[in-house]
Amino acid sequence: MVLWLTGLPGSGKTALADRLYEYLSGKGLKVARLDGDVLRATFPETGFTREERIRHVRRAGELAAKSEKDRAIVIASLISPHREARSYARSICESFVEIYVKASLATCEKRDPKGLYKKARRGEIKNFTGIDDPYEEPEKPDIVIPTDELTLDQSFELLREFVDRRLKNAESGM
């Protein structure tokens, strides 16, 4: 299964994905982790235009699909701002689970863990999602984690319970 966490920068995707990876690995499951920032470091030519972002998410989707075929549970955390790219990833994965890590722009700007929103507001970063590049919210996510309403622990607990149910259903063939 591919657990795809999408949301604005600073919404909590990476923090939740890291906790989920530790949790599932701790249960002895085969887990693969894909993170948008890590992938960008691996493929440094990846830019931030709409076309480059779509290509980046498609590439991540292909990596996720390959890992899924190798029987891993894939945890992918990418902004993945465009529905078109997320739809492609869904289409090539056997069991794609879209997890919308939802936080308001104001909350994400307040958190701003990397100082990127401030740079984007000053014009130092162009095509920044949520500021001068749109984020297309998922239309029918499998679950919404409202991280601006919940603590990190509460958000993780909601995600953990959801994933445990999905795993149980997958084991029983449902």
Cβ contact 165:22 at 8 Å: no
Give the number of other CB atoms < 10 A from CB of residue 42.
Answer: 10
| Burial class of residue 140, CB neighbours in 10 A (0-12, 13-18, 19+) | exposed
- Match 């999905």 to its residue by tokens: 166
Helix (H, G, I), strand (E, B) or coil at 34: strand
| Burial class of residue 161, CB neighbours in 10 A (0-12, 13-18, 19+) | exposed
The DSSP element (H or E) to which 4 belongs, if any, is strand 2-6
Token pair in block for residue 128: 């920044």
Token pair in block for residue 23: 């949790």
Selecting among 80, 87, 91, 155, the annotated active-site residue is 80
Cβ contact 82:42 at 8 Å: no
Active-site residue, 80 included: yes
Catalytic residue ranges: 80
